[in-house]
Structure 1
Amino acid sequence: MTATAPRYAIYFAPSAESALWRFGSATLGYDAISGKEQAFSVPPGCEALDWAALTAEPRRYGFHATLKAPFELSNGRSEGALRAFARNYVAGRTPPTLEGLAVDALGRFVALTPSQPSDALQNFAFDLVQAFEPFRAALSPADLARRLQSPLTPAHRAYLEAFGYPYVGDAFRFHMTLTGSLPQELVSPVRAALAGAHAQAVPAGPLRLDRIAIFKQADRTSRFTLLDSLPFG
């Protein structure tokens, strides 16, 4: 495993035609389908901020919710096999529906999160993590050390060792990131501004997780781009 090896991730990313995709991509200033930057849609009231800097970290990954965190392929596994497995996976499953999304502050970054908890979502996400586990190479010592810089509970540490990511199973929290880590004094006003922009841009109502997406990062210096968008059923 090297810094030049590609990484893959299994995400929820809404369809390119959806208002949610347009909102998220414009907020981040990056369209992961084309792999190109796009004009920012800066939320009203935030025009004086350095919006490019505030969204730099999530822009690397594209607009998404993580289901299986980025991984390199294990020995003997190919990109083609991963894509074929994913096509078969979506053919036989019914995805959950969320009651809606709300703009929330998670610590010092702002994200879209489910407006109501969902056991179906938690079960769905952990099933997917386990199903795709054979494709994941073990973490490199450098990646493991990076993960261990964050304070982890014993349960988080166990998940990290088992699945290469600490926030799975009962530690999973669905979120679609809209900013990087903000200065504390900006968290509340930016959250409020994004909540208003989201309400204007995206119709309220339930959200069916109708597809999964495979994103690919060519190397550690690259941004993630969409490889496959796979509707369920």
Structure 2
Amino acid sequence: MRYAINFTPTAADPLTIAASQWLGRNAFSGEAMELPFIRELGLHEIAFNTAVPRRYGFHATLKPPFRLADGMTEPMLLRHLLHFTGQHQPIPLPRLEVVRLGNRFALAPERPCPDLNHLASSVVMHFDAFRAPLSEAELERVDTERLSASQFSNLHRFGHPHVMDEFRFHMTLTGPVGSTEMPVFEQVLKRYFDPILQRPQMLVNLALFVETEPGAPFLVHSLHPLGSVSARRIA
């Protein structure tokens, strides 16, 4: 079993609903969702190019997937997550926009957000004691020749190359897209998401995701609101 600490809007949020329909799966219920009808793309094209993010569910990764270290349990992780979220406040997100990340598409803030980067680094460091070290097999699956010195250091220190100074907040929308299809997907995704992205987004919770067995789709285990208990009651 693996866990991940992510951000995702609530199940009823319009962005969650739209993204779940685009990916074809709801990470809260685990249920398949009917793909949207888009004139320029066939349903098979959408399904094929969203297969990877569909398994992980709509989210932004803060603490990448990890197995629990020896002596750590799920109840312990939940207690620490509850305590951690009580010590941090919600963060207004810069407007999200559709961006290219290499040969993939994602939603990402239109400008840097230091508070967001600080929270992500805090999550990585605080919960690293719960992470089992990477196995030799897991390390062998990483293409280390493509990593920078900083990314290589992160891989061995925190179990993933794209954390700490290498972190970029993003919510993945596709797997690798062919170069000839990139312009069509970019146009479609902007048209599909831009009306929803006009609405301000807040990072108001941390979400614990769980993969029950290797290769299984990740599901939202629980949402943990940011802010003190008293502040949550007032809200």
Q: CA deviation at 1:212?
A: 0.6
Partner of 2:132: helix, strand, or coil?
coil
Q: Taking structure 1 as reference, are residues 49 and 36 closer, same or farther at Cα in structure 2, changes over 3 Å only?
A: closer
CA RMSD in angstroms, aligned pairs only: 1.4
Select which of 77, 82, 91 maps to 1:82.
Answer: 77
Measured against aligned partners, the alpha-carbon deviations of 1:112-136 in whole angstroms (never above 9, x if no partner) come to 0101111111111101110111110
Aligned to 2:109: 114
Q: Aligned partners of 1:95, 1:158: CA distance in 2, in Å?
A: 30
Identity between Structure 1 and Structure 2 (%): 35
Structure 1 length-normalised TM: 0.93
Q: CA deviation at 1:150?
A: 6.1
Measured against aligned partners, the alpha-carbon deviations of 1:169-200 in whole angstroms (never above 9, x if no partner) come to 11101110011101011112201210110023
On the 8 A contact 1:93/1:232 being kept in 2, the answer is: yes
Q: Taking structure 1 as reference, are residues 124 and 92 closer, same or farther at Cα in structure 2, changes over 3 Å only?
A: same
Segment of structure 1 superposing worse, 181-190 or 141-150:
141-150
Aligned to 2:210: 216
Q: Taking structure 1 as reference, are residues 159 and 203 closer, same or farther at Cα in structure 2, changes over 3 Å only?
A: closer
On the 8 A contact 1:96/1:124 being kept in 2, the answer is: no
Q: Taking structure 1 as reference, are residues 17 and 150 closer, same or farther at Cα in structure 2, changes over 3 Å only?
A: farther
Aligned to 2:34: 39
Q: Aligned partners of 1:42, 1:140: CA distance in 2, in Å?
A: 42
Q: CA deviation at 1:220?
A: 1.0
Q: Taking structure 1 as reference, are residues 208 and 161 closer, same or farther at Cα in structure 2, changes over 3 Å only?
A: same
Q: CA deviation at 1:205?
A: 3.9
Measured against aligned partners, the alpha-carbon deviations of 1:17-58 in whole angstroms (never above 9, x if no partner) come to 111101111110001111121111254422365211110011
On the 8 A contact 2:59/2:171 being kept in 1, the answer is: yes
Amino acid in the other structure paired with 2:214: R
Aligned to 1:25: 20
Matches within 5 A, 1:150-165: 151-165=146-160
Q: Aligned partners of 1:170, 1:159: CA distance in 2, in Å?
A: 9
Select which of 193, 198, 206 maps to 2:200.
Answer: 206
Matches within 5 A, 1:134-213: 134-149=129-144, 151-200=146-195, 202-213=196-207
Aligned structure 1 segments of 4 or more residues deviating by more than 4 angstroms: none
Q: How many residues align?
A: 227
Amino acid in the other structure paired with 1:54: N
Aligned to 2:56: 61
Q: Taking structure 1 as reference, are residues 42 and 103 closer, same or farther at Cα in structure 2, changes over 3 Å only?
A: farther
Q: Taking structure 1 as reference, are residues 38 and 49 closer, same or farther at Cα in structure 2, changes over 3 Å only?
A: closer
Q: CA deviation at 1:142?
A: 1.2
Amino acid in the other structure paired with 1:143: E
- List alignment gaps of at least 5 residues for structure 2: 228-235
Amino acid in the other structure paired with 2:209: F
- List alignment gaps of at least 5 residues for structure 1: 1-5
